Amino acid sequence: MNKKELQHTEDLLWIVTDNKGTVIHYNNAFHLLVCNDIQNSVLQYVHPTEVKSFKRILKNTAEKQKSNIFDVRLKFNTSSYKWFETKVSVSTDATINITFYLIDKRKKEIIQLKDALSKEKYLSQMKSKFVSTTSHEIRTPLSIIKSSAEVMMMFLETINDEKLSKSFMNYLVNINNESDRLSRLINDVLIMQKADMDMIECNKQSTDILSLIMHTIERHNLIQKDGRIMNLTITGTPSNVMIDPTLFEYIIDNLFSNAFKYSQNSNNPDCLISYSSIGFNVSVKDYGIGIPEEDINQIFNLFYRANNAKLIKGTGLGLNIVKKLVELQNGTVLVKSQLNKETEFNIIFHHNS
């Protein structure tokens, strides 16, 4: 037998030692492959970092009369080491039998990979737990801040000093708006995290999307500082559709918010709902900054923000979530845009999908 044969057949190396590891007998494979030059102790062939544990196992095997299996690196020739699955057991005459099987390199790598993956999984679970716990914890103080600001706003309205009331009102409006922004961010993070873990529940039910959209429009119209409103057009015959109302509202809310945000001081944005026999689609169109051609294919990527949007506040989370939620309900989301002219998002749902 030669070294090549052993590598391919994973043949067995076998030795007998005393309880200190001094070699008494060895088979031909051991002689040929590991120690052309037989030395006294098996420990001389063991990788230096494993000598201590090898010694401990020998001692333990001898004392407890129990066999042990473990992996160890043996000096394969003068310079290199190879992994061997090693079994140590005691014979009736108190000598120790040691067998070594050459371990396939890939097998070893798979073991290491599995270890790495389970560590990675653990770390990612810890990360998710951290994110969801802190996000939930932030919600309570945030709602206290917001409601306190609202109470103070109501109080200010009763004060006769107009100058004082106006200047404080501005601060309170800021607190209120920023609390809303933070709360949207937390909701985005939580929903993102659920989506990552495939934990978003989709409860399709017969939904009146027209009134849902009208309510959302009302909410958005009320908070526009430049006084703009979302125009609404309907084609086809309105009817209830099978959709998850909560997820749908999130989608629409995000598209409306972007339409206003990226078109400050331009024309009113448009929302068009089209009903047909095969399904329905909702288009949200604005006449603002548009999306550069080189960015448009990436805007659904997590945290991606186009170059012309960097001065406008945002996180790059919303559209990624929108796409996930639309696709979760077997819909499609499309975008087209002309720089500095217009941007249109279209969500399409078919009845039979």
Residues that bind ligand ADP (CB under 6 A): 258-259, 262, 286, 288-291, 299, 304-306, 309, 314-320, 343
Nearer to ligand ADP among residue 96 and residue 200 (C-beta): 200
State the Cα–Cα distance between residues 225 and 245, nearest whole angstrom.
28
Alpha carbon distance 63, 61 (integer Å)? 6
Nearest approach in angstroms of CB 271 to ligand ADP is 12
CB closest to ligand ADP, residue no: 314
- Give the ranges where the chain is alpha helix by DSSP (H): 3-9, 28-33, 51-64, 105-157, 162-196, 209-222, 245-261, 293-296, 318-328
**Which of residues 61 and 258 has its CB atom nearest to ligand ADP in the complex?**
258
CA distance 56 to 44: 15
Question: Minimum Å distance from CB 304 to ligand ADP?
Answer: 6
Distance CA 25, CA 151 (A): 90
Minimum distance from CB of 272 to ligand ADP (Å)? 15
State the minimum distance, in angstroms, from the CB of residue 325 to ligand ADP: 12
Shortest Å distance, C-beta 209 to ligand ADP? 20
Cβ at position 286, least distance to ligand ADP in Å: 5
Q: How far is the CB of 316 from ligand ADP (least distance, A)?
A: 5
DSSP codes, 41-103: BGGGGB-GGGHHHHHHHHHHHHHHT--EEEEEEEE-SSS-EEEEEEEEEE-TTS-EEEEEEEP
Distance between CA atoms of residues 256 and 253, nearest Å: 5
CB closer to ligand ADP, 9 vs 301: 301
β-pair partners for 71: 85
Helix (H, G, I), strand (E, B) or coil at 230: coil
Cα separation, 350 vs 353, whole angstroms: 6
Q: Which residue's CB is nearer to ligand ADP, number 194 or number 305? A: 305
**Calpha distance 325→184 (Å, rounded):** 16
Supply the minimum distance, in Å, between the C-beta of residue 205 and ligand ADP.
26
Residue closer to ligand ADP (CB basis): 45 or 250: 250
Terminal Cα distance for the chain, rounded: 65
Q: Report the residue number, 219 or 350, with the smaller CB distance to ligand ADP.
A: 219
Rounded Cα–Cα distance for residues 298 and 352 (Å): 29
Element (H, E) at 231: strand 231-235
Instruction: Output 98 or 291, the one with its CB closest to ligand ADP.
Output: 291
Nearer to ligand ADP, 17 or 254 (CB): 254
Q: To the nearest whole angstrom, how small is the minimum distance from the Cβ of residue 312 to ligand ADP?
A: 7
Query: In angstroms, rounded to a whole number, what is the distance separating the alpha carbons of residues 244 and 286?
Result: 26
Q: Which is nearer to ligand ADP, 288 or 331 (CB)?
A: 288
